[in-house]
Amino acid sequence: MNQPRIRAFVQYITAVLLLDSKITLSRISESPLPLAESLSHDQLTAALATENSHQQTLLWSFVQALIKLEQGFLVIDDTIIEKPHGVAKNKPDSFLRWVYSNKESRAIKGIQWVMVLWVTEWGRFPLGWAIYDGQKSKIELVMAILSQIRNKVGLRKCHVLMDSWYAANKLFKQIHAYGWTFVARVKKNRLINGIALPQAIPRGYGQLIGRMGPLKINLIRNGQHFLVTNRLTMSRKTLQNWYKKRWEIEEAFRVLKVVCHLKDCQCRVRAAWENHIFLVCMAFSALEFRSKQLGITIYKLRSRATFKDWKPFLTLWNSVLGGT
């Protein structure tokens, strides 16, 4: 990555961390950010619109410079980045689409963003993401992300959490083949030992070891909810407690949208959106790490942080971005 583009990206990350109201390229270029050199609107536009195939590798490098990727949880989910004034097309390779929103109970215009979040005692850090454009299923996107995390990041031991929308047999099989543990909620129409789950455990609460698709799994019922794992010796309490950690990704999505300006990009070019998401994830990772260091919430840190708080990160950002 050349120096003008590195400067543009560092300026963008700094703006995400310091500017309060909606960010635009004009506002970023005009804001008096205390950087050595601030770039113009046109320079920022050119940098943001240039394709970058190394985004996730760069983010891994940044996160690994902050923490050790040892045992933790990988949480899978997706969210809609609402763009009510955009031009949506439900055609193959269209990244801005009409999407059904459970929150709104109707179809809205937006970008479906799939994320894999690393959750550990040192915080929550995005390790992989993809924009759903209809060319591949969300399950296939997640499988590709997990393959990269295992083979390129070298993550050998972790626990993968997901809700029922991602609880597919082929994803279970991949995770199990990696030697990882999965914990997932499954829909009640799934079969274990060839029997529907409500019939397999007819009472409101219970636990059963059986075969679901190609794998032997540990199933528990908690009222109308069914949870499964490939760790056959896991207790009911542990299984429930682990699944509760999935909520971390919901909170992360909220912070990304409300605090880190995830929805603010006004560009219509996919490459610009991908770079915007990458830089927002870099800013979020810095916020998460610093808030844990100080023992305060992200919201409190964001409300009181100044450039002085982020100055130590400038060298690291320049180093990581300059690695390609």
Name the range with the highest mean pLDDT among 153-157, 255-259, 306-310: 255-259
pLDDT of residue 282: 97
SS (H, E, C) 122-137: CEEEEEEEEEECCCCC
The whole-number pLDDT of residue 35 equals: 66
Three-state DSSP at 22 gives: coil
Give the pLDDT confidence score for residue 324 in this predicted structure.
58
Report the chain's C-alpha Rg in angstroms.
Answer: 21
Q: Tell me: the pLDDT tens digits for 274-304?
A: 999 999 999 999 999 999 999 999 999 999 9
Beta bridge partners of 111: 81
- Count CA atoms within 13 Å of residue 75 on its CB side: 24
Looking at residues 23-37, what average pLDDT do you find?
81
pLDDT band of 31, cuts 50, 70, 90: confident
Return the number of other C-beta atoms located less than 10 Å from residue 65's C-beta: 14
Nearest-5° Cα angle at 214, 209 to 183 = 55
Residue 79 near residue 64, CB atoms below 8 Å: no
Q: Which of 26-35, 56-65, 89-98 has the highest mean pLDDT?
A: 56-65
The pLDDT, as a whole number, for residue 70 is 83
pLDDT digits (tens, 9 = 90+) for 233-244: 999 999 999 999
Mean local confidence (pLDDT), 64-89: 90
Report the alpha-carbon distance of residue 237 to residue 103 in Å, rounded. 30
Residue 63 vs residue 155, higher pLDDT = 63
Q: Is pLDDT above 70 for 21? A: yes
Q: Which pLDDT tens digit goes with each residue over 146-190? A: 999 999 988 888 999 999 999 999 999 999 999 999 999 999 999
How would residue 231 be classed by pLDDT, with cut points 50, 70 and 90?
very high
Tokens of 280: 């927002």
CB neighbour list of residue 4: distance below 8 Å, 6 or more residues apart: 39, 43, 47
Look at residue 36 in the predicted model and tell me its pLDDT. Answer: 53
* Span 7-29, average pLDDT: 91
What φ, ψ does residue 111 adopt, rounded to 5°? -110, 125
Residue 196 scores a pLDDT above 90: yes
Phi-psi bin for 295: left (phi > 0), alpha (psi -120 to 50), beta?
left
Helix (H, G, I), strand (E, B) or coil at 116: strand
What is the C-alpha separation between 319 and 152, in angstroms, rounded? 19
Q: Which residue, 8, 9, 44, is CA-closest to 24?
A: 44
Q: Residue 80's pLDDT band (boundaries 50, 70, 90)?
A: very high
Instruction: Please report the pLDDT score of residue 203 as a whole number.
Output: 87
Region of poorest pLDDT, from 150-159, 211-220, 227-236: 150-159
Return the pLDDT at 44.
92
Closest CA to 32 of 13, 22, 18: 18
Determine the Cα–Cα distance for residues 321 and 9; give it in Å rounded to an integer: 8
Return d(Cα 283, Cα 243) in angstroms, integer. Answer: 27
CB 316 within 8 Å of CB 282: no
Place of tokens 């109970």: 105
A 10 A CB-CB count for 143 gives 19
Q: Among 111, 120, 110, 175, which residue's Cα sits nearest to residue 142?
A: 175
* pLDDT higher than threshold 90 for residue 17: yes
pLDDT at 81: 94
At residue 69 the predicted structure's pLDDT band, cuts being 50, 70 and 90, is: confident
pTM for the full model?
Answer: 0.94
Could you tell me the pLDDT band of residue 208, with boundaries at 50, 70 and 90? Answer: very high
